[in-house]
């Protein structure tokens, strides 16, 4: 059913793109009602407009907090044009229909980004706008609601096509968008209050997100996918792509894993290589080239087609080394001009600048079929003073520092995780196995294949306790001299005895790092 628009209420804080809209309203003799800055703006442009307070016969009050909250406005929007009782009530009150609402809200999210002034933020929580939008969206059968300046063009086309009318299909689509916006807006406000009050797990949790772009596909070509931004700055991510193909779902998944791991490296030049969301090489070193080479040498086979993340600026020399390998994505805190020239020779390589990236979200979310899990992100950093050495042999200061490095990396490897390290670099990683014994075998197998000379006197970190001594014995036999693990098994003493018998050092953390 196509409905003629006679009266429109226009109230917008963002006045971009409004002139073409005013022209089409004038063309079809649609009366405009407005207030405040929007009214003044429309009048200055030379268009006829009825001031809202004159329309309602009621002056706005409370510093503008109450202006559109009036029966003449909401009855004009909400009444059912096909309902005789509604028609009679509207005639009795002499309330005209309002057939088109064009509204955008007070810029709450913009103000939150710009200030911490509590009063200013509260005053930018829109009440009248969302109320009108919800009223119009509910009554889409009779009313057209526009909440986004990007939809003005669609509305203009609709009015041109149907000679001042809109179709039911168009009104339904705009209604859907409108309810999405009010939910999004309220969600941002609710989350702002929760953050301010440090409520991490409220009784009702809403997650807001704005679609950044549709991706070519999901994990596999037969799956659809999009990426959303869950932030008050919802028009971009906090890193920027400088070159290469569009990022895929899997690229983003690996990038997020890389950034999480990289953020935990604080002592030097850190390099992280990720494949299928698992680290396959991590290194910290004073020298950036050594850091890169050590990370790559851990498992160059798995690094093929992976993501490299660096917490340093890429030089021409490192860029040349990177270019010798097939890499999907390179992330770094800047690139000098010569390095970009080298890297851009690979037209598909995604080059990402993370200079402005700062981690914000302290929670992680997993969803499944109508339910979701939320937890704090695992940002636990081991306190050396709380480490408990359970063997007769004790580690020295340098070893303690490397023990912390190894155990830190284990929390980013899918469970069951075993990480072998030497000189603040991984040399073998066993990831994602149902059996910890298998993870031990894989870590050793990797180390023997690529860095066999480094296994002797290496450090092994386990993300959870050893249920039996078999995994421990395999590590010891390979040449591991220090093992760090949470402890807590009923067979801990058996495992401690095996470590003492082999004359190795073992430490308990009392901290588990499952990552499923």
Q: What is the pLDDT of residues 369-427, one digit of tens each?
A: 889 899 989 888 888 778 999 999 999 999 999 999 999 999 999 999 999 999 999 99
Is the pLDDT confidence value at 262 over 80? Answer: yes
Count Cα atoms within 13 angstroms, Cβ side, for 191.
20
For 133-143, b/e burial (b = at least 16 CB within 10 A) is: bbbbbbbbebb
β-pair type (350-353, 327-332): parallel
Quick one: which H or E segment has residue 132? helix 128-138
**What's this model's pTM, rounded to 2 decimal places?**
0.87
pLDDT higher than 90, residue 157: yes
Percent of the chain's residues with pLDDT above 90: 66
pLDDT at 370: 86
Architecture of domain 3-196: 3-Layer(aba) Sandwich (3.40)
Beta strands 480-485 and 458-462 are parallel
Going by DSSP bridges, is the β-strand pair 418-421/458-462 parallel, antiparallel, or unpaired? antiparallel
Give the C-alpha separation, 59 to 335, whole Å. 58
pLDDT score of 129: 85
Same fold? 238-353, 384-508:
yes
Distance of alpha carbon 470 from alpha carbon 451, whole angstroms: 23
Distance CA 388, CA 395 (A): 11
Q: Provide the mean pLDDT of the chain.
A: 91
- Which of 91, 100, 176, 171 minimizes the C-alpha distance to 132? 100
Backbone angles phi, psi at 309, to 5 degrees: -125, 130
Q: Tally Cβ neighbours within 10 Å of residue 372.
A: 11
Count the residues in the chain.
Answer: 516
Q: What single-letter DSSP state applies at residue 315?
A: P
pLDDT band at 345 (very low <50, low <70, confident <90, very high): very high
Q: Which residues are catalytic?
A: 138, 276
List pLDDT tens digits, range 25-82. Answer: 989 999 999 888 888 888 888 888 888 888 877 677 676 666 667 888 888 898 888 8
Residue 108's pLDDT band, with cuts at 50, 70 and 90, is confident
Structure tokens at 305: 């087609």
Q: Which two tokens stand for residue 175?
A: 């209604």
Summarize the confidence of residues 16-33 as an average pLDDT. Answer: 90
- In order of 253, 308, 431, the CA distances from 408 in angstroms are 20, 18, 14
Least confident of 123-127, 139-143, 441-445: 123-127
Q: What is the CATH number of domain 384-508?
A: 3.40.140.20
Among residues 55, 62, 68, the alpha carbon closest in space to that of 12 is found at: 68
- CA 3 to centroid of chain Cα atoms: 41
Q: Percent of the chain scored above 70 by pLDDT?
A: 98
Range with lowest mean pLDDT among 15-24, 210-219, 238-247 = 15-24
pLDDT of residue 74: 82
Peptide bond into 94 cis (omega under 30): no
Judged against a pLDDT cut of 70, whether residue 105 lies above it is answered with yes
> What token pair was written down for 371?
């339910």
Cβ neighbours around 200 below 10 Å, total? 13
Q: How high is the pLDDT of residue 4?
A: 84
CA 171 centroid distance within chain: 31
Q: What tokens were used for 284?
A: 């910290």
pLDDT for 61 equals 60
Q: Where are the domains of the chain?
A: 3-196, 238-353, 384-508
Bridge-based pairing state of the strands 3-4 and 165-166: antiparallel
Task: Identify the pLDDT of residue 64.
Answer: 65
d(CA 489, CA 38): 69
Span 238-353 CATH architecture: 3-Layer(aba) Sandwich (3.40)
DSSP 490: T
pLDDT at residue number 67: 67
**173 closest CA partner among 197, 208, 148, 198:** 148
**Half-sphere exposure for 210 (CA within 13 Å, toward CB):** 14
The DSSP element (H or E) to which 507 belongs, if any, is strand 505-508
Euclidean distance between CA atoms 209 and 228, whole angstroms:
5
3-state SS class at 421: strand
Which pLDDT does position 13 carry in this prediction? 82
Per-residue pLDDT at 245 exceeds 70: yes
Across residues 318-327, what is the average pLDDT? Answer: 95
């Amino acid at each position: 059913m196509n409905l003629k628009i006679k009266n429109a209420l226009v109230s917008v804080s963002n006045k971009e793109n409004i002139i073409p809209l005013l022209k089409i309203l004038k063309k079809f003799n649609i009366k405009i009602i407005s207030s405040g800055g929007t009214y003044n703006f429309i009048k200055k442009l030379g268009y006829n407009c009825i001031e809202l307070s004159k329309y309602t016969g009621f002056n706005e009050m409370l510093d503008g907090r109450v202006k559109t909250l009036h029966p003449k406005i909401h009855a004009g929007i909400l009444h059912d044009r096909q309902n005789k009782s509604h028609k009679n009530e509207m005639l009795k009150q002499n309330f005209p229909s309002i057939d088109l609402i064009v509204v955008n809200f007070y810029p709450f999210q913009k103000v939150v980004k710009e200030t911490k002034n509590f009063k200013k933020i509260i005053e930018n929580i829109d009440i009248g706008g969302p109320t009108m939008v919800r009223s119009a969206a509910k009554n889409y059968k009779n009313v057209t609601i526009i909440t986004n300046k990007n939809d003005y063009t669609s509305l203009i086309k609709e009015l041109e096509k149907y000679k001042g009318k809109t179709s039911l299909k168009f009104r339904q689509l705009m209604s859907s968008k409108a309810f999405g916006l009010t939910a999004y807006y309220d969600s941002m406000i609710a989350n702002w209050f929760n953050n301010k009050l440090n409520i991490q797990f409220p009784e009702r949790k809403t997650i807001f997100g704005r679609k950044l772009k549709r991706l070519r596909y999901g994990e596999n070509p037969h799956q659809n996918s999009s990426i959303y931004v869950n932030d008050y700055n919802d028009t971009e991510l906090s890193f920027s792509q400088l070159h290469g193909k569009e990022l895929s779902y899997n690229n983003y998944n690996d990038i997020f894993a890389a950034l999480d791991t990289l953020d935990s490296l604080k002592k030097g030049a850190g390099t992280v290589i990720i494949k299928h969301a698992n680290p396959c090489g991590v290194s910290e070193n004073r020298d950036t080239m050594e850091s890169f080479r050590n990370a790559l040498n851990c498992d160059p086979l798995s690094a093929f087609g992976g993501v490299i993340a660096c917490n340093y600026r890429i030089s021409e020399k490192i860029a040349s080394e990177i270019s010798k390998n097939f890499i999907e994505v390179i992330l770094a805190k800047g690139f000098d001009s010569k390095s970009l020239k080298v890297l851009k020779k690979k037209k598909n390589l995604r080059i990402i600048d993370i200079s402005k990236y700062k981690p914000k979200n302290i929670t992680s979310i997993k969803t499944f079929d109508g339910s979701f899990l939320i937890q704090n992100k695992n940002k636990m950093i081991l306190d050396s003073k709380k480490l408990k050495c359970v063997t007769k042999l004790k580690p020295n200061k340098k070893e303690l520092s490397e023990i912390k490095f190894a155990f830190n990396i284990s929390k980013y490897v899918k469970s069951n995780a075993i990480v072998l390290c030497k000189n603040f670099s991984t040399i073998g990683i066993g990831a994602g196995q149902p059996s910890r014994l298998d993870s031990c075998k894989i870590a050793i197998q990797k180390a023997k294949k690529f860095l066999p000379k480094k296994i002797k006197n290496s450090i092994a970190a386990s993300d959870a306790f050893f249920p039996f001594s078999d995994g421990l014995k395999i590590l010891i036999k390979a040449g591991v001299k220090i093992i760090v693990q949470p402890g807590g098994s009923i067979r801990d003493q058996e495992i401690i005895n095996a470590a003492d018998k082999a004359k190795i050092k073992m430490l308990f953390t009392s901290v588990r790092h499952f990552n499923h």
